[in-house]
Chain A
Amino acid sequence: MMPSTPTVRPIIGLEIHVQLQTRTKMFCGCPVRYDAPPNSCVCAVCLGHPGALPVINRRALEYAVLTGMALNCTIARHTKWDRKSYYYPDLPKNYQISQYDMPLAEHGSFEFDVDGTTKRVRIKRAHLEEDAGKNIHDTPGCTLVDLNRAGTPLLEIVTEPDINSAEEAYVFCVELQRLVTCLGVSEGIMQKGQMRFEPNVNLAIPADGSECRTPIAEIKNLNSFRSVRNAIAYETQRQLAAWQEDPEYVHGRRPNENRGWNDDRGVTEYQRPKEAAHDYRYFPDPDLVPVELTDAMLEATRALMPELPVARRRRLVQQFRLSPKDAETIAEHRPTAELFECVLAAGGPPETVGKQFVNVWLKLANDRGAAVTDLGVSAERMAELAQITTEGIVNKTAANQLAETMLTRPAPPRQIAEELGLIQVQDQAATARWVEQAFAENAQAVRDAMENPKKAKAAAGFLRGQVMKLSGGKADPKLVGDLIEKRLAGG
């Protein structure tokens, strides 16, 4: 089993298809729509009618270049289109327009953090192609075909086999989704098949002083992060077991194979031997002229490059001393991260803003099923709340209540706090009186706090809660804590 043989090294590469969020298809003006009635978003080009001519969607090309740049790829100055021939009912032309030997982008890399360490995965290439239609197999005796999806622009991204565990593959896919959604080149919605993953998996096993490798299995068409992780975890164990049973189960002696993931049974299933690339008979598409990317085109695209998610998270941690977890939460969506930085720019003290943004504003948004940017509270007012919390004008508990009221009241936070009586009482004498009253009313808790080491901590906490209650939430929790401690110590 894998855990007890740590020297077995999984070798994993990924092929990812990302649907670009253009309004129209890759080579024709048909709208890209997910829920349209069957065969209602088609034309002569995407149906493959004779004589129809494809024309490149400029936006799709720009999105592909932008993504290639974000993946640190070399962008080809000259690129072309090739036909990949195969027969299947969802492929009306009997070939797919793709890029074979001159991909748009290659030799890149993608860095991300797994369990606190930086992982770097080389990107072999990224190229543009068109999607196929959909075959529907649930009618007995025949297959039904809907060609709405045929011709939808896809970016195929291929990594080098630099991934060494199911967890790394999982994080890679999550981070890639963050990247493409941050770039705005794809919505990255799994449920709509906008990202599809195909891991290539085999094992390097030390044996008799050398290393042997199992045949490569390509797991087809995974469409969730979870299935990527589970399928790879299963496949690595399966290959090790297969090798232990059959010493000939090694690369070169047994064929590479395609396998499918059965989510219900939690297993990969043999499909067929992997078809060699030359069977697709790639050749240049005579219907499409090549693309020459000029300096001006590349610069215009580069100007659209936002700060990328991994970099933004690292900066949030360094610049504002956020915890990695809070930074991840804030940077998850680009508008959220931008609002956060606006709150800071409006003068909110970073540490309080960080905590309040996650624990108060994002929570309020979550409870309402809304985006934090749709709460109707401006960055300036969020900054002001953080300011008066930091200054001790309201305490943390009061700030929560105040934030909720701010959703419906446009007045400045401080004014609302005054009206609701939430201004923190710094008056030492008044606080001392609440402490005295709490001690008088809770003799048992006082005895526990002073004499019972097992219960002391809980009892002191209980007393603090009682004092805050007596103050109507207005006491300064720090002052309350100090006074209780002093009194318990016999002061």
Chain B
Amino acid sequence: MAANLDAAAVRHVAHLARLNISDAEVALYAEQLSRVLGYMEQLGELATDGIAPTAHPLPVVNVFRDDVPVEPWDPQRALQNAPQRQGAFFRVPKVLDQDSA
């Protein structure tokens, strides 16, 4: 049942999520995440032949809104939780590489 997530995969996912983790953490997460995946794999034991795949658990479709503007937030409200701001802008560390755009 054990799904194997190796150290390289953990490092890759950590990189994609912009997480800086130590070698010890890589080993720890590889083991923990493998267990999580293994737990999920129990779903594979269900007989799903003849059942159409679904992308959503609810039997609901077509929830729409009309194209009518509502009052947006005041910029002060939008920015109030920002760790850093400059004027009405969010301020973040300089983006050096465009690695994931």
Which A residues are within 8 Å of any B CB, using their own CB? Answer: 22-24, 29-31, 37-44, 47, 55-61, 80, 85-89, 102, 135-137, 139, 141-147, 271-272, 275, 279, 281, 284, 286, 288-292
Determine which of A88, A139, A271 lies in contact with B86 in the assembled complex, contact meaning CB atoms within 8 Å: A139
Which A residues are in CB contact (< 8 Å) with B73?
42-44, 47
A-B contact pairs, 22 of them (CB 8 A): A23-B69, A24-B70, A29-B65, A29-B69, A39-B88, A40-B78, A42-B78, A56-B65, A58-B67, A80-B56, A88-B101, A89-B92, A135-B95, A136-B89, A137-B94, A143-B93, A145-B90, A145-B91, A271-B98, A289-B56, A289-B62, A292-B61
Which B residues are in CB contact (< 8 Å) with A89?
90, 92, 95
For the complex, give the distance between the alpha carbons of A270 and B99 in Å: 13
Say whether chain B's binding surface is mostly helix, strand, loop, or mixed: loop
Contact across chains for A47 and B78 when beta carbons are under 8 A apart: yes
Asked if B24 is at the interface (CB within 8 A of a chain A CB), the reply is no
Contact across chains for B86 and A80 when beta carbons are under 8 A apart: no
For the complex, give the distance between the alpha carbons of A284 and B70 in Å: 27
With CB as the reference atom, state the residue of chain A lying closest to B65.
A55
For the complex, give the distance between the alpha carbons of A427 and B55 in Å: 83
For the complex, give the distance between the alpha carbons of A279 and B18 in Å: 13
Which A residues are in CB contact (< 8 Å) with B99?
272
Contact across chains for B92 and A142 when beta carbons are under 8 A apart: yes
Which A residues are in CB contact (< 8 Å) with B88?
37-40, 146
Quick one: given A89-B95, A272-B98, A272-B99, are A144 and B69 in contact (CB under 8 Å)?
no
Which A residues are in CB contact (< 8 Å) with B78?
39-40, 42, 47, 147
Asked if B79 is at the interface (CB within 8 A of a chain A CB), the reply is yes
Asked if B45 is at the interface (CB within 8 A of a chain A CB), the reply is no
Contact across chains for A38 and B89 when beta carbons are under 8 A apart: yes
Contact across chains for A22 and B61 when beta carbons are under 8 A apart: no
Contact across chains for A290 and B56 when beta carbons are under 8 A apart: yes
**Per-position binary interface string of chain B over residues 2-31, scored 1 when its CB falls under 8 Å from any chain A CB and 0 otherwise:** 000000000000001110000000000000
Asked if B51 is at the interface (CB within 8 A of a chain A CB), the reply is no
Smallest beta-carbon distance B45→chain A, Å: 22
For the complex, give the distance between the alpha carbons of A59 and B69 in Å: 12
Supplied contacts A284-B55, A284-B56, A291-B62, 5 more A-B pairs, CB within 8 Å: A47-B73, A58-B65, A87-B17, A144-B91, A147-B78
Contact across chains for B67 and A145 when beta carbons are under 8 A apart: no
Which A residues are in CB contact (< 8 Å) with B65?
29, 55-58
Contact across chains for B100 and A87 when beta carbons are under 8 A apart: yes
Smallest beta-carbon distance A258→chain B, Å: 9
Which A residues are in CB contact (< 8 Å) with B50?
none
